[in-house]
Structure 1
Amino acid sequence: MKQLLFLLLTITVFGCQKSTNETLLFVGSYTDKQPGEGIHVYQFNNETGESVLKYTLDSITNTSFLKLSDNGEYLYSVVESQMPHHGKVAAFKVDTQNTKLELLNMQDCGGLNPAHLEIDNTGNHLLNSNYSDGSLSLFKIKENGSLEALSQVLHFKDSSIIKSRQEASHMHSANFSPDGNYVFAHDLGADKIRRFTLSKTEDSVALKNLKDIKTKLGSGPRHFAFHPNGKFGYLANELSGKVDAYQYDNGNLVFIEDYLSYGQQQDIYRTADIHISPDGKFLYVSNRGPEEDTITVFQINQDNGKLTLVERTDTGGQHPRNFAIHPSGKYLLVANMFTDNIVVFHRDLETGKLTKLDKDIKVKSPSSIQIKIYN
């Protein structure tokens, strides 16, 4: 009788729970400026690197950048990027039990061509960067994960020396500082990192502009990654093909050194995404042609933040706009936008080097990846 009771309790407690350590992969795509299959959700096998498609969000336009909340409960996406009218930001509830997304709400993003989303370390605020009209918008995240109407929009007018790309301000991304007190926004058109304080009251938060940080002319600041230790930051410059290393100290970024991400000098550079391994030992950067589609691997000096080249690896496709590192550090996944494939690499934890696996995911125009282990 006692054995039967124990068995029933075991079934009751464990039988209805979802298996632990399930990993979900979220992929955002361009949809040719018309409603289409914008977001795909895959079940990712942590042992083999294989993926199984579980859900597709259809009839939505140009969901080209995704951002997952730290707890994985909510997914945020830009909507209607690269359109002639204001884009939007959508909030979704992640249903891990049924592996699908539930739309919570959608808000006007306050500008043209939303390109990047970032969430602060409290999970209460979301920043959106609008590329085409050089603007930055701030949203309050409600307790249920939905977005309030935008609370602030800042517009910038500026330019720099490459007239074909820097004729106006182009805000490409923004990051909250590790201490949560500052925002750094990266203006490709102006060759500037725009710096803000977060002015907080009991009811609201607002951005207040400080003195901008100038990058080298023609750099084209695009994406940025802070080191896990909070002491260093790294800027991927699209137009110069270089990575700038900075020391971070209480709202200041002090330039250390820059490094060519490409294997050789070219007339045109298209450096794109940048991420640091979970252990903080290695930095990864993607290069999108025209003659080189690679992931460049650097080793990070933990004392001074300087970089040492490890290798450059072909991405197995064209135009690696975005990539992601598995939370365990074991895999790196690259979204090759022009060849409609996501390539999975095994990542050596000791050397940082990448080995391509035969686990490609076929998906049209992938442009953004988020990955999360659900315990």
Structure 2
Amino acid sequence: MTNAINKTAYVYVSNAKDGTVSRYSFDKTPLTMVPLGETPVGPNVMPLTVSPDKTYLYAAVRSEPYRVVSYRIDPESGALTEEAVAPLPDSMANIDLDLTGRFLFAASYGGHKISVSAVNKLGHVGDVIQELATGRNAHAIHPSPDNDFVFATSLGDDHIGQYRFDEVTGKLSKNVVGTVASGKGDGPRHFVFSPNGQYVYCLGELSGVVITYQYDGSTGLLSYKSAVQAVPSDKLGLVNGVPPSKSVQNDHPPVWAADIHVTSNGQFLYVSERTCSIICCLRVEPKTGRVQYQGHVEVEKQPRGFALTEDDQYMVVSGEAADHLGVYQLNDQTGMPVKVSEVPSGQGANWVEIVEF
């Protein structure tokens, strides 16, 4: 890991129950995280994403009318100024931008669909220009590092959809191989590309595994490489592959994994699990993509979302059932998080974005 760089940084957290986005300043020398206030957005505000140039924060509201709000970020104060509101076709579990910042992708868990919206020259999200049906329970959607392809998980059908992306029109079309499978009952949820762009790490919400796929930049196709148990379900007394809505034998609760992030140097991977309220750390061999479980730590209750600082030094964790955020320092050698402070949060805190200038 690199040494901490004293940049101006702001943390944004969506609070679904309060309908707000909380703002915090984040300083590393000395380490302080200070609440700056809350921005009203709407009931059940959840996924956030930031424009490539860090000018805008986008917030998706999962209550009717479904919409995305475009906020300009003040780099001097971190304040958010609402500049545009645009409709979304459904309740969207995840949003992201293409690498040009001209198009916004969204995935709907309940609607089993993905969509593309145009972003104008001012950075405002506008009308939806495309909707596509997916497998059951679309959950995450992201472009490839070269911006030529887009991938979207379908948790209910245990696969990742593979799409070609036209950077000029913003339109998606199915690739020659439309999907790549996970293991049965994995429930693929969130995923990240390795920093070198060679691998995709996908978290199984229902199994607690991290599935590694090789990415072929020439075809835009993923190929299954391996799967590693990222959440030690046996030790924790959890059952794999059971949706939370189903009954569980012997009163053993199910695995309920949520978020996944990789350090910028590609050496460590982190996943959150909500049943036991833990963050699991995995070591990654960047050249081969091999992943190995290192350990886990207890964190804020029901950690749906977290984020890492750019220098791989700190992690901010939100807990949907907690009244505060946790700040953790990451060990240079082992990658393990160590809690160093906490700050108050809103109700239903679920998504974290860290913006550094």
TM-score by shorter chain over 0.5: yes
Alignment of 1:291-330 (within 5 A): 292-315=276-299, 317-330=300-313
| Structure-1 separation of matches of 2:298 and 2:36 | 29
TM-score normalised over the length of structure 1: 0.85
Q: Which amino acid aligns with 1:205?
A: G
| Structure-1 separation of matches of 2:260 and 2:233 | 19
Matched residues, number? 331
| Structure-2 separation of matches of 1:327 and 1:246 | 24
| 1:37 positional shift | 4.5
- Structure 2 residue 228 is the aligned partner of structure 1 residue 259: yes
- Structure 2 residue 315 is the aligned partner of structure 1 residue 346: no
What is residue 55 of structure 1 aligned with on the other side? 37
Aligned residue for 2:160, secondary structure, equals: strand
Between structure 1 and structure 2, the one with the greater Rg is 1
Contact 1:342 1:363 in 2 (8 A): no
Percent identity of paired positions between Structure 1 and Structure 2: 25
Contact 1:246 1:256 in 2 (8 A): yes
What is residue 107 of structure 1 aligned with on the other side? 86
| Structure-2 separation of matches of 1:59 and 1:107 | 13
Aligned residue for 2:321, secondary structure, equals: helix
Give the stretch that moved more between structures: 97-106 or 60-69: 97-106
Alignment of 1:270-281 (within 5 A): 270-281=256-267
What is residue 209 of structure 1 aligned with on the other side? 174
TM-score normalised over the length of structure 2: 0.89
User: CA RMSD for the aligned pairs?
Assistant: 1.6
Contact 2:35 2:343 in 1 (8 A): no
| 1:207 positional shift | 0.4
- Structure 2 residue 342 is the aligned partner of structure 1 residue 373: no
Aligned residue for 2:93, secondary structure, equals: strand
| 1:171 positional shift | 0.7
Q: Which amino acid aligns with 1:350?
A: Q
What is residue 186 of structure 2 aligned with on the other side? 219
Q: Which amino acid aligns with 2:10?
A: L
What is residue 72 of structure 1 aligned with on the other side? 54
| 1:145 positional shift | 1.0
What is residue 128 of structure 2 aligned with on the other side? 150
| Structure-2 separation of matches of 1:301 and 1:99 | 36
| Structure-1 separation of matches of 2:282 and 2:208 | 14
Higher relative contact order (CA 8 A, sep 6+): 2
| Structure-1 separation of matches of 2:255 and 2:344 | 26
| Structure-1 separation of matches of 2:10 and 2:41 | 22
| Structure-2 separation of matches of 1:248 and 1:116 | 22
- With over 3 angstroms needed to count, the CA separation of the structure-2 counterparts of 1:359 and 1:264, relative to structure 1, is same
| Structure-2 separation of matches of 1:94 and 1:191 | 37
Aligned residue for 1:189, secondary structure, equals: helix
- Structure 2 residue 99 is the aligned partner of structure 1 residue 121: yes
Q: Which amino acid aligns with 2:191?
A: F
| Structure-1 separation of matches of 2:77 and 2:343 | 24
- Structure 2 residue 68 is the aligned partner of structure 1 residue 89: yes
Deviations along 1:277-305, one digit per CA (max 9) or x if unpaired, are 0111111111111xx22111111112211
Q: Which amino acid aligns with 2:98?
A: D
Residue among 139, 147, 167 paired with 1:180? 147
Deviations along 1:185-220, one digit per CA (max 9) or x if unpaired, are 00111111011001344xx22100122112222111
What is residue 335 of structure 1 aligned with on the other side? 318
Deviations along 1:212-244, one digit per CA (max 9) or x if unpaired, are 112222111100000010111100010111110
Contact 2:180 2:223 in 1 (8 A): no
